[in-house]
Structure formats: structure tokens, C-alpha cells
Amino acid sequence: MSFQKNQTHVVNRNERFENIANELKPTFYRKNVPAKKVIEVVENKEKIHGWEVKPLQSADQLPDQVLGKGDQVILDFGDHQVGYLSLNIQPVGSPPDAPLHLRLTFGEMPVEMAETFSNYDGWISSSWLQEETMHVDVLPNHLTLPRRYSFRYLKIEVLDTSQKYKVSFDDVSIESVTSADVDNVETFENPDEELVEIDRVSIKTLQDCMQDVFEDGPKRDRRLWLGDLRLQAIANYATFQNNDLVKRNLYQFAAVPNQNGQVSANLFVEPNLIPDDTFLFDYSLFFTTTLYDYYQATKDEVTLRDLWSAAYRQVEIALERMDDKGIVEDDDSWWSFIDWHPELNKQGSSQAILIYTLRRTIQLAEVLGENKQKETMIAKLKKAEEAVKKYLWKEDKRFFVSGEKEQVSWATQVWMVLAEVLDQDQNQMLLKRLLKEQPEIEMNTPYMHHHLVEALFHVGLEQEAIEWMKMYWGGMLRDGADTFWELYNPKDKEFSPYGNHLINSYCHAWSCTPTYLLRTYL
Ligand code: RAM
């Protein structure tokens, strides 16, 4: 894998859109959360990543522990937290005659407490690993860290004091922060406790990712990605209903397209709004479908009118990739996302996403009375669908294929179902065949699993959808999730597309959708 670096990319800034987004800056809800327990992390091959948490004592007893050079203590905050840490440090013994040298390590998972970050060998930056080394000159000290962390566990290591003094810690707490208004969420009632728990943890995941924007993950990448936004938005409509945050994020994307009018795959918001120079076929199209979903949820026609030309432009750009046959061109680069899978061919799913988007674009054009654009898109839709049936459906395999090598993947079948290329009965049969035959190119992210479950519900396979949810999201819970993860492959629990699971995000926006699925389809 390599990053996209578009050196020629020019930002076509729309200040009016940017101002609208700025005015929609969210309110933050803050809460003080003290550390709950002192714990240890011990080896256990049966547990995820090979580590298990054992409680030692209540955090109230922490001040009694005196730590000198080489000593450490691990604290458990009881649940996943996002916010700002503070703690008191007391010197014990003679007046401190040397600075305190300290290391603080934050972890969403036990493995981050147990394995040293210096062994990290992945291909994305190690700077995401949450660790601070510092010198404290004045003791006693009330230390407040300026950076926001995402964690449940905190390891405090005393690297050095001096021969004359040691230290103790107390009042270790966090000011947690979110822009999600938890009071807006209605209770989800269901006799199945596992589903209620899956719903609760989905909401907690979304809550912790809701900050100044809908972040993908508060540990990493801490930014606004379109593919994540799309799923967060639908989960938000079913729960917090902070619809202005969706609106803000849509305006942000529309405010900084490139010279061609294409919106970036993700945005940075500090020190000001900066689009990344990464462009993905599917993610740009999701600008349009996210606007469609936003309109369905709010009926906000003013926003729809304002953002329509940006939305329409994304589809036009995608259509430029369609060849004479009506199929989107494939290539070897990271041109479309779909899922994290090293061998997945993206052509089939991308074609399906184009069709899925065209259907929604046509509906939006109709709402707006844009008849000419509507007719253009109807013609394109016809062409794209016919091409799929002619070139991508293989009668002998009874599956859709993707790419030159005619790959059969889960992703392609799932997206073709969501694109409604076949009729309802055929779609149902296709998904049943998929579950039975289990093609080799599987799914690795909750993002892709979401689409499978949505497709199952969509064709009326409710029982299968629920079972899958319990197997997958329930599996994360059984493996100790406090919030749902960025990556999860039940057959390979160490999986990371980045070369090392330490860098994976364990509170990740795109895994928050069961709450939407349960509240929408049950
Ligand atoms: C990763 C993140 C993000 C996702 C992109 C494509 O960097 O997990 O959530 O949208 O990949």
C-alpha cells in the first residue's frame, strides 16, 4: 500500500460554504471521569492479542503507592474515554533535587499497555501511538496534558527521580469530551440482551467519535473521512440527531473541492479547513449519497439546493471513468476504497456504488425539478446497469465478477445487491449463495460487514442479518470491546492493513452502525 500524493492538486475554496460550516460549530459536552482501578496486564494466549487485564485494587488506594526509578502503575478508567488527562504528583522523601522523568502511555486495548511501542514496524506513522515522555521540574505538581487522548488504560512509568526522593500519584482523572447529546437517545427495547448491548456499544462508539466533526477514530486518524461520515450520519439520525453536525461536515467538503470540482476523501480542520490530497472514487460519490440521506432525514431543501451542484459534479466525475461498454475502468492504484483487503479488486463494487449513487441522484434531481439532469442520469443508469448484466454477471459462476481476472469477492456481491441490479428474489438468492459458498476474498472491516448486514435486511433475510451481527459485533464484545473497532476479522484477530495491530483504532466510526440497523429494521 502507498499513499496518494497529488502534487498538482489545487483547492477551489468556497468561502460562503466555509462560513456556513463555521457557524455550525458544535457544542461540547464535558464530564469529569476519575480512574477506577489499578490493574495489571498478564499474558493469556486465549485472549485477543494474547493479553488479559487483572484488577489489583481500587484507584482510591493509588496515593499509598510510592514509585521510584523503573516503577510503573497501570490504571483502568472502566470504559473507553476521549478527553484531557490531569493528575497530581506528590514528592515523597527529601526535597526533590532533580526533575521527575515520566512516561505516560494511553491504550484503548490491553496490548497497548503490555507491548512496547518501540517494536512498532507498520507503514503508517508511529506518531499515532499515544505516548508522552516528559520532565516535571516543580513538585508537587498538578499536571494537565494539552493533547486529547482516546483510551481506557493509562500506564504511568517513572523513568527517574533521584536517590533522595520518590513520587506518588493521586486524583488521576479525565475531562471527557463529545459533541453528542446523549439525552437525545431513545431507549432501544428488545428481549434479546445481546442486541441491546450491541446497540449500547454502537452508540458509545459514535459518541466518542463525535467531536468538532464526525471523526473516523479519536485515536487515529482523528479526521473527517467521507466513507465514515456517511455511516455516522445514518447512525446519528437514529440516535443523537445532531443533524447540524452532518450539515456542517457536508458544507466543509463542498467548501474545498479540487480544480475539477471533486471533493477529497478526507479533511483536516486545524489550523483551518484543509482538504487532503487523496481522492477516492467511492468516497467522492458518498458526498452525494450522504446529502441524499441528510435530505431524507431532515427535508432541509435549502441545504439540498445549496449543495446540489457539488453533489451532481461528483457523479459527473465518476461517470468520466465509465468506458464505452459502460463499466468503470479499473487500475492498480488505490483509486477506490471499498474495504481494507490486499487482494480485493475494486472494479465491481465501484460500478455498483456508481449505480447506487445514480439512483439517489435521480431522486434528488426530481425533488429539485432539475429535469434535464435527471434525464441525463437516467440514461447513464440504464447504460451502467445493462453493462453489469452483460459483462460482470457470470451465469456459470452465478456471481458478479470484478477486474480482468474476474475475481469473485464478498464486497462485489454485497454492493451489487445494495445497487439493486437484480430483482428482490434474485438478490435474496445471491446473498444466500454468498453465505453458503463463502468466496475466498472476504471482508476485513466493520465497514464492509455493515454493508453485508444492510443488504441482508434489504432483501428480507432478517434472521441471517441478526445472526451475522451477533457473530461479528457480538464477537468483538466477547473479545472485550468497549467501543467497536476499525478492523476485525474473526479468523485472524491480529489483522491490520498497516502491518501492525498496535496502530489499529479500537473506537472507530464506521463500526457504529448496528444501532442504525437495529433501530431501522427491527
Ligand atoms: C483509514 C481509516 C478511515 C478510512 C480510510 C479509508 O485511514 O480507517 O476510517 O475511511 O482508511
Within this chain, do residues 70 and 19 fall inside the same structural domain, yes or no? Answer: no
CA atoms of 70 and 239, how far apart (whole Å): 46
Q: Is 53 found in the same domain as 115?
A: yes
Q: Is 335 in the pocket of ligand 1 (CB under 6 A)?
A: no
Q: Is residue 7 in some structural domain? A: no
- Whether 287 and 314 have beta carbons less than 8 Å apart is answered as yes
d(CA 257, CA 288): 13
* Predicted local confidence at residue 4, as pLDDT: 82
Q: What is the pLDDT of residue 6?
A: 78
Query: Do residues 133 and 102 make contact, with C-beta atoms less than 8 angstroms apart?
Result: yes
Q: Is the CB of 110 under 6 A from ligand 1?
A: no
CA of 225 to the centre of ligand 1 (A): 7
Same domain, 387 and 250: yes
Residues 20 and 90 in one domain: no
pLDDT tens, per residue, the chain with 522 residues: 567 887 778 999 999 999 999 999 999 999 999 999 999 999 999 999 999 999 999 999 999 999 999 999 999 999 999 999 999 999 999 999 999 999 999 999 999 999 999 999 999 999 999 999 999 999 999 999 999 999 999 999 999 999 999 999 999 999 999 999 999 999 999 999 999 999 999 999 999 999 999 999 999 999 999 999 999 999 999 999 999 999 999 999 999 999 999 999 999 999 999 999 999 999 999 999 999 999 999 999 999 999 999 999 999 999 999 999 999 999 999 999 999 999 999 999 999 999 999 999 999 999 999 999 999 999 999 999 999 999 999 999 999 999 999 999 999 999 999 999 999 999 999 999 999 999 999 999 999 999 999 999 999 999 999 999 999 999 999 999 999 999 999 999 999 999 999 999 999 999 999 999 999 999
Residues 47 and 92 placed together within one structural domain of the fold: yes
Domain co-membership, 55 together with 144: yes
Which of 178, 209, 232 lies at the terminal end of a domain, its last residue?
178
Considering just the CA atoms, what is the radius of gyration of the chain in Å?
25
Residue 36 sits in a domain whose CATH number is 2.60.120.260
Of the candidates 433, 442, 425, the residue with the CA atom closest to the CA atom of residue 397: 433
Residue 5: inside a domain? no
Q: How many structural domains are present in the chain?
A: 2
Question: What is the CA(9)–ligand 1 centre distance, in A?
Answer: 21
- Residue closest via CA to ligand 1's atom 8 equals 486
Query: Cα(483)–Cα(508) distance, rounded to whole angstroms?
Result: 8
**Can you give the pLDDT at residue 9?**
83
The CA distance from 366 to 372, in Å, is 10
Q: What pLDDT is recorded for position 448? A: 98
Say if 406 falls within a structural domain. Answer: yes
Q: Are residues 457 and 439 in the same domain?
A: yes
CB atoms within 10 A of CB 202: 27
Tell me the CA distances in angstroms from 120 to 56, 115, 149, 376, 495, one per residue in order: 28, 9, 19, 51, 14
pLDDT at 5: 83
One domain, residues 159 and 209 = no
- With a 6 Å cutoff on the Cβ, whether 497 touches ligand 1 is no
Candidate from 228, 279, 496, 503 with most ligand 1 atoms within 8 A of CB, to mutate: 228
Give the CATH number of the domain where residue 212 resides. 1.50.10.10
**462-473 pLDDT per residue, tens:** 999 999 999 999
Which amino acid appears at position 108 of this protein?
Answer: E
| pLDDT, position 208 | 98
Residues 204 and 154 in one domain: no
**Residue 201 within any structural domain of the chain:** yes
In a domain, 9, yes or no: no
514, 521, 518: which is closest to 205 by C-alpha? 514
Query: Of 283, 404, 385, nearest to 336 (Cα)?
Result: 283
37: how many CB neighbours lie within 10 A of its CB? 19
pLDDT of residue 365: 98
Whether residue 265 contacts residue 230, with contact meaning beta carbons closer than 8 Å, is answered with no
The answer to whether residue 474 is domain-embedded is yes
Please say which residue of 178, 201, 218 terminates a domain: 178
> Rounded to whole angstroms, what are the CA distances from 45 to 50, 51, 454, 489?
4, 7, 34, 17
Residue 215 is assigned to a structural domain of this protein: yes
The residue whose C-alpha atom lies closest to atom 6 belonging to ligand 1 is 337
pLDDT, residue 1, reads 59
CA distance 354 to 384: 8
Same-domain status, 457 and 323: yes
Q: What's the pTM?
A: 0.97
Please indicate whether residue 83, judged by its CB atom, sits closer than 6 Å to ligand 1: no
Query: How close is the Cα of 148 to the center of ligand 1, in Å?
Result: 20
- 111/127 Cα distance (integer angstroms): 17
Instruction: Give the domain range for residue 56.
Output: 31-178
Question: In the listed set 142, 163, 178, which residue is the last one of a domain according to the structure?
Answer: 178
pLDDT at 2: 64
Cis peptide before 271 (omega within 30 of 0): yes
Asked if residue 227 has its Cβ within 6 Å of ligand 1, the reply is: yes
Residues 6+ apart with CB under 8 A from 494: 49, 501
Residue 183's SS3 state is helix
By C-alpha distance, which of 441, 417, 448 is closest to 513?
448
Indicate whether 484 and 363 sit together in one domain: yes
Q: Tell whether 430 is covered by a domain.
A: yes
Q: Indicate if 57 and 189 belong to the same structural domain.
A: no
Ligand 1 centroid vs 469 CA: distance in angstroms? 21
Alpha helices by DSSP H, listed for 142-222, are 193-209
| Ligand 1 centroid distance, CA of 40 (Å) | 32
Does the Cβ of 486 fall within 6 Å of ligand 1? Answer: yes
